[in-house]
Amino acid sequence: MRTFVLQIMSNIIIHKAETRGNADHGWLKSKHTFSFANYYNPDRMNFGVLRVLNDDVVAAGMGFGKHPHENMEIISIPLEGDLEHKDSMNNETLIKCGDIQVMSAGTGIYHSEYNKNKDKLVKFLQIWIFPNKKNVTPRYDQITLNLNDRHNKLQQILSPNKDDEGVWIYQNAWFFMGKFDNEFTTKYKTKNIENGVYIFILNGNLLINNNEVNMRDGIGFTYTENIEIKALSQNAEILIMEVPMEVV
């Protein structure tokens, strides 16, 4: 697999929602923050080890048939509806809003994902992270988080550590989610100054380090120790992804 490193001359990059790649397969509507499938933009290959950030909407009763992955950390975050998962590790599960699912594809897995419901959409984020350890034994994990724990605070949902809150992956990455009241302010302090921090706006409007961003925008920072966050609307919601910037 070829790997790419995003070269950033300054310490900030903004991806407006309307600049994302678009795929409409009828049963699947997907917005691609980074190059994926038929969407190719040499300036939007990845953000460090963050390779894929897809914003997917799956029609009722439809889904992704069995397909393979290898040497990738794959994270699914349902935003609405129920997604049925089956894989070659004999997992058969249902993931829903409030759940976090992770697969370390390692030496290779097959899986399928379907909208369990016949009368409503499924909306979820599909995220791929380059691992820092290849050819591991494939693994699966899924947890349910308390959504109240992200009200006016940052709730950790992913880390490199098995004993921390949330799921863990083979990479020095941390994910947080927060849902804020209007005018609420908070600060994110990076775990490692050499990491990058990419923030995806799930809902509402925010001011992040004095940059106004809106629903489905993305904003990335490098060599930044502290990030100031202020909600400009009620129920402003974000996903913070701190990741290494070097792909090895």
pLDDT (mean) for 104-108: 97
Strand partners, 195: 244
Asked, for residue 90, whether it belongs to a domain, the answer is yes
Q: How many domains does the chain have?
A: 1
Range of the domain at 185: 12-133+147-244
From residue 100, alpha-carbon distances to 44, 49, 103 in Å are: 25, 19, 10
Phi-psi region at 153: left, alpha or beta (left = phi > 0; alpha = psi -120 to 50):
beta
At residue 178, the pLDDT reads 98
Write the pLDDT tens digit of every residue in 125-157: 999 999 999 999 999 999 999 999 999 999 999
142 occurs within a structural domain = no
In a domain, 185, yes or no: yes
In a domain, 206, yes or no: yes
Tokens matching residue 152: 């006016």
Q: What pLDDT digit, counting tens, does each position of 158-210 carry?
A: 999 999 999 999 999 999 999 999 999 999 999 999 999 999 999 999 999 99
How many Cβ atoms sit within 10 Å of the Cβ of residue 223?
14
Q: Which distant-in-sequence residues (6+ apart) come within 8 Å of 135 by Cβ?
A: 71, 106, 107
| Residues 39-82 pLDDT 10s | 999 999 999 999 999 999 999 999 998 999 999 999 999 999 99
Q: Answer yes or no: is 141 within a domain.
A: no
Neighbours of 96 (CB within 10 A): 15
- Find the CATH number of the domain harbouring 177: 2.60.120.10
> Is 204 domain-assigned?
yes
